[in-house]
Amino acid sequence: MNYYSIQVTTQGSASSTAFYYVNVLSPGALAGAAVTLYPTAAQATWFGYQENALQFQAPAGRAGAGATVITDSPRVIGTLGVSPAINVDTVLNLYGAANPIGSVTLPAGQTSIPFDFQVSSEDAIQKGDVEAALQKVAPKPEA
């Protein structure tokens, strides 16, 4: 199995609470998910992940979430979405051991966009390095 880090971020949304999701359609699974929120107001939040989906609800403000993609597929394919549409871009990045592999941007005002990244075992994160890689893409909040 090969390991990659996937990250979703949005910066400075002034929209109301929104639901964000990443559905990975490639064979494999998601693991080790985390979320970091910097809301502009106290509102309900929610976070969860399943085998092939990372989901969170966040109020207006900055948000970021990450997970480990575990797959033997030569492609990581899926959909990035937000509902309702928000007033800033939402970015999804896929990382390997050394460098970013690819990125897709969901423009402000739109609700979903597909992604399709070519990957290889040379790009993959070593199993023992997965936790450190995830902390890079979804760091713990500052004190």
Q: List pLDDT tens digits, range 100-141.
A: 999 999 999 999 999 999 998 888 888 777 666 666 655 555
User: How many angstroms separate the Cα of 42 from the Cα of each of 17, 45, 60, 80?
Assistant: 11, 9, 10, 25
Helix or strand or coil: residue 14?
A: coil
Tell me the pLDDT of the chain averaged across its residues.
87
Domain containing 99 — which CATH number?
2.60.60
Cα-flanking dihedrals φ and ψ of residue 72, to 5°? -105, 0
Q: Give residue 36's pLDDT.
A: 85
Domain for residue 134, yes or no? no
Q: List pLDDT tens digits, range 36-62.
A: 888 888 787 889 888 999 999 998 888
Question: Which residues constitute the domain of residue 44?
Answer: 2-128
Cα-flanking dihedrals φ and ψ of residue 35, to 5°? -140, 145
Domain for residue 136, yes or no? no
Q: Which two tokens stand for residue 107?
A: 């423009």
H helix runs in the chain, sequence order: 130-137
**Cα–Cα dist 53/99, whole Å:** 23
Domain for residue 140, yes or no? no
Stretch 24-40: mean pLDDT: 88
Task: Quote the number of domains for the chain.
Answer: 1
| Nearest of 101, 92, 104, 45 to residue 67 by alpha carbon | 92
Domain for residue 137, yes or no? no
Question: pTM to 2 decimals?
Answer: 0.87
